[in-house]
Each structure stands twice: as structure tokens, then as C-alpha cells.
Amino acid sequence: MEIYLLRREEWEKFYNCNLINVDDVPFVERYHPLNGTIIIGLFVIFEALYLPCLFAIYKHTEYSCYKLLLFIGISDMLMLLFHGLESGVYNFTGEMFCPNYNFNYVTGSFGAALFALETSANIFLAIDRCCDFISPKLCEFLFNGKRITFWIGFSIIFSFYYFFYVNPAFYNSVYMNWFMNPYSSKNIEFAKLFVLSRWSWERVIFYVRSQVPSLIHINISIENSNSK
């Protein structure tokens, strides 16, 4: 959004409809009513199921992990508006990046921000649970009381970074998916126009996040076997 708000001329070089005419893609290739119905139906079901779950979680927010779970649940409900409802509607309207490129860029930025908000909070939840398993005192020191607001605040700041400085993804109804390249259904090499540096370090973060619990479990198993 930073380039969209403050460097509009530069933004227009990368995101505009001069390179594509949506009518060149037949509407029948962009119209997927069955897919849209399923996605919107699942969106309604998931949002409805979230409400009692969040209420149950809220009753246990004296624990730091439940505070994080509540925060993650609310974030996910908001993200479903974009990745669920919006995706389903676009399967009916045959939406692509053009011609509503301003709206799609803004909603894509919100989707990216919520993605960062939720995934970073998931990492902190994993750290919370691992610390509680290994050393309850360490978990209490890091997460108990008002200290949990630091972790939640970091997730919020991280989401603002994504909102302003990370290239968003856009829904393409031809392929029924979200792509960083707004011209993904056309033979245009968007990557040569604009470097998408986000994914290089993001993959590292997700890999580390997925491997840390396994490494902790292996270490504990080795220690237990040695103690015997």
C-alpha cells in the first residue's frame, strides 16, 4: 500500500490495465458457479462454527495460550472475508485483477496483512506451548499477565508491515486461486517487472516454525532414553 499511496506513478508502472483486456478471456472460462457456491457455503459454515468456539475460548483467557487462540480466531474470521467470501463471489462474477484493479489491490493488501497477523500469532502460540512443556517458569516469564500483549502487539505491527510494504496477491477466476502476478492468465512476465522478495525469507520462517516442535520432541525423547 505504501507504493499505492505515496508513489502512485511508480505503482501504475506495475499495476495497471494497459497490459490486459479482461474481455479477451471468455466469461465462460472465468465463471465457476459450483466452485463459488461451495466456497461461500463453507465460508458461512466456518464463520458460524467459529462463534461458539471463540466464546468457549474466551472463558479461559486467564491463560496466555487461550488469549493467543482468541486473537488467532478473530484474525481468521476476518481473513475468511477475503479468502473465503470474496473468492466465492469472484467465481460468479468472473473477476480478475482488471478492471477493478484499485479495489482488488486494497483488498489484497488487507488479505496479506491478516495472513501475517495470523501466521505470526501461530508461531507465538507454538513457542508458548513448547515453553510450557519444557519449562513452565520460562513460559510464565515470557507470556503471563500483560507480557502477552507484547506478542500480540508484535503480530499487529508485523501485519502493518505486510499491509504497507508487501506485494499482495490477487484472485484470478480463470485458475480459481490467488496469485502475486496480476496478469497470471496472460503471457506477461510480471516477475521481471517487479521483484517479489517476500517469499525467500518467508519460506525460511515457515520451515523453522514447522521444524522447531519436532526438534524439541526429539531432544526430549533422547534425554528420557538417556535417563533410563
pLDDT of 148 > 90? The answer is yes
Q: Does 218 have pLDDT greater than 60? A: no
Residue 72 pLDDT > 90: yes
pLDDT in tens, 149-188: 999 999 999 999 999 998 899 998 888 889 888 877 665 5
Asked if the structure places residue 119 within a domain, the reply is: yes
DSSP 8-state assignment for residue 89 = H
- Non-local CB neighbours of 127 within 8 Å, separated by 6+ positions: 142
Sign of CA dihedral 52, 54, 57, 59: negative
**Is residue 215 in some structural domain?**
no
Per-residue model confidence (pLDDT) at position 183: 78
C-alpha cell at 51: 462463534
The average confidence (pLDDT) of the chain is: 83
Give me the mean pLDDT over the 103-116 stretch. Answer: 93
The pLDDT score that the predictor gives to residue 199 is: 46
Helix (H, G, I), strand (E, B) or coil at 81: helix
In a domain, 201, yes or no: no
Show the domain range for 182. 2-196
| Spatial separation of the C-alpha atoms in residues 15 and 22, rounded to whole Å | 14
How crowded is residue 169: how many other Cβ atoms within 10 Å of its Cβ? 22
The reply to whether 47 falls in a domain is yes
Residue 122 lies inside a defined structural domain of this protein: yes
User: What pLDDT does residue 112 have?
Assistant: 92
Residue 76: inside a domain:
yes
pLDDT for res 210: 54
Which grid coordinates are listed for 158?
508485523
96 within a domain of the structure (yes/no): yes
d(CA 84, CA 114): 13
Residue 223 domain-assigned? no
Residue 214 near residue 126, CB atoms below 8 Å = no
Q: What crossing angle do the helices spanning 64-80 and 136-143 adopt, rounded to 10°? A: 60
23 secondary structure, DSSP code: G
pLDDT in tens, 73-107: 999 999 999 999 999 999 999 888 888 889 999 99
Q: For the chain, what is the domain count?
A: 1
At residue 133, the pLDDT reads: 87
Whether residue 221 is predicted with pLDDT greater than 70 in this model: the reply is no
**Residue 181: φ, ψ to 5°:** -85, 115
Report the pLDDT value the prediction gives residue 32, as an integer from 0 to 100: 92
CA 198, CA 182: separation in Å to the nearest integer? 16
Is residue 133 left, alpha or beta, with left meaning phi > 0 and alpha meaning psi from -120 to 50? alpha
Torsion region of 94: left, alpha or beta (phi above 0 gives left; psi -120 to 50 gives alpha)? left
**How many beta carbons lie within 10 A of that of residue 165, not counting itself?**
13
Judged against a pLDDT cut of 90, whether residue 58 lies above it is answered with: yes
Q: Is the pLDDT of residue 30 over 50?
A: yes
Query: Hunting for cell 472460462 — which residue is that?
Result: 29
